[in-house]
Amino acid sequence: MKDVIVITGAGQGLGECIAKALISNGFRVAITDINEEKAVELAKKLDTDGNTAVGFKLDVTKKQDFEQVLANVEARFGQVNGLVNNAALTLMTSVMDVTAEEFDQVININLRGTLFGCQVFGAYLAEKGYGRIVNMASLAGQNGGAAASVHYAASKGGILTMTKVFASNLAAQGVTVNAVAPGPIDLPIVYELVPPEKLQHLLENVIPVKALASPSFIGNIVAQLLQRDAFGVTGATWDINGGLFMR
C-alpha to C-alpha distance for 238 and 247, rounded to whole angstroms:
11
Q: For residue 225, which amino acid is it?
A: L
Give the separation between CA 241 and CA 247, rounded to whole angstroms.
Answer: 12
For the chain, give me the number of helices (H) and strands (E)?
A: 10, 7
Asked if residues 102 and 152 have their Cβ atoms less than 8 Å apart, the reply is: no
Q: 3-state SS of the chain: helix, strand, coil percent to 5?
A: 50, 15, 35
Cβ-contact 144, 153 below 8 angstroms: yes
Active site residue 124: no
Residue in 124, 130, 152, 191 annotated catalytic: 152
**What is the C-alpha separation between 56 and 238, in angstroms, rounded?**
28
Go through the chain and tell me how many residues it has: 247
CA angle 233, 69, 18 (to 5 degrees): 45
The residues annotated as belonging to the active site are: 152
